Structure 1
């Protein structure tokens, strides 16, 4: 007859279930050092008492009923086999726990936040906030808890596809760049062995852009000189100058009203209903713009609009007024009112200003960010103030070339 592994078994599933707490903790042995510890509060714990190198030790196996009698006996048998091999079951348990914790300690979120902390000193506060918020919203919920070294390329792509499916194509592209930087940092610091985002270049959709005719950096000075000598209405000249200095959309400029401007605070607050994306927008006012506004005020300060129509002062300037002026200056097909935004964006990016701050000043945003913009329309404001003053100074110098 085959000898039982548990010749002195005293426990049964029914007996364990019916074991009642007493005035003190007590033990019910199953044989071979395995026992059930019944606490006076009713809790029941599996324990294994053994000796290792002459010392008595106790291995915590688990809690009943999460660990059944059968499972407890199997774990007990595994521990006894370790002892036969000269391995302390408690030390083995600690090693396995340490390995598991080490694996899960360096999660994507943890490493991403570490990367962010290392780099944020090089960024403006607004940009740093923008970066971490985008990761918290669109990346951490999906791969944040995963060990960074176990994340595969398809998992990263799946995260980006979620953003792409919302038609937030610019955001998806920026998130790819940020994930790529996080994985690169993980490889550099030994937390991962490869970068699963590096091969995703070109896989995301891009928005087809219909470019408006715009001036290059080299062409801008000549245009400014011609504008200074424009022989048409002075108010039209001032409108074009204000358009170039603020690089808002032509419709946003034509509809500008005096109550939107705070010269003391040096800010133009365009209400949401007048913006393309239906969100409020802030335009910091440079010294040059303040001077332009003072001159414009002498002409139209008594009206609601900065640029009222010639026939009806209660309506804004015609959308064709500035376009015809550009034609008269000799730039038909070469420049548009909207194109000055592209010119400004190109030059500012070449100068190394914060890309996200430039985009916010251009009032560019993903459609999924529309609601958030009511709260964050002042993002990167310090950077934007610097950008707008630099741009004003640049235009003055360019007109002298």
Structure 2
């Protein structure tokens, strides 16, 4: 009997070991499925945010086919749907002021910076009267979370659905067959046309210009909330500190511009020299348009939009340098902006737009930005009786500058042109 029982005991032990291995394996599989599911929910987050009642006048599948836009990923499609959602906080601020100035804040992925500008906006006098649109260059969870916590005004988020940051394996992101650096396309059998200096495209760099141009076209011609808005729109970035009097000063500048400077195209909250805090004179200043806190109306946008070819084919990855050296000079005369003698917005950025923000690289001193905000900066300080001083022979980029490059790939240029066309397909069809 003893010789019979011993093998049975070995069989039982083997079965227990087998069951233990199977159980551990199944547990690992379940954990993997849970983790992947969690990541999927994190990445494709919109099912909980999208409403059932989405009405939009543009047929994007028609647009995609008509313009041969890049094939969208699931995340890109979901972000485009999110762009159609109505503003938040309408329960807190049910009506916008009749003469409100829409504010557009365009951001990449610098959460420490974004916290600063959002905090500054929360103290702006009159901010509750208007709509804040935050335009994201891609989807970044921490950036999204900061914006979703805004409670001081109506706020709408839009996401650039063709941002290179959303396409890790294909254009407008990085494609497997793309040329790199200064590779010879013919010898390497790689794809892409180089810029004027022989460098091939960097998706991280070109996204700067793509985002600005997509945002402009979308805000002025695509969004239900703004496509019929004829007034001024203020544009700021994630590294602009906005003073409490900015909105009231902006209203005064817009009111004064037709009389004080009828040939001015825009108004600015800050000098075009980002290091200047203003002259402190008792007068208004007309100068070259700056890129910190600038505002213009639909009439000016139509002039800019007509120059899509000039914008999209100029070999410089910077939108502002492209405007200064190619688009504005094509208007046929000086393009000036009107501002006050004391700044109402400050550029505080220390690192480039696409360097991002790691935990150990906040690009902000101790994670904090401090500005001296005097009592004069808390109330409108622009006087209607002031005269205007015109600034001439300013330093900076002018017509004739060839550009810094980075924008030589024909695919980027075509995508740029498509952004200018995507809300005007009916106009194109009727004119052809």
Classify the TM-score, shorter chain: under 0.3
Please identify the structure whose Cα radius of gyration is greater. 1
Task: Please state which structure has a larger fraction of its residues in helix.
Answer: 1
Where relative contact order (Cα < 8 A, 6+ residues apart) is larger, the structure is 2
TM normalised by structure 1 equals 0.27
TM normalised by structure 2 equals 0.25
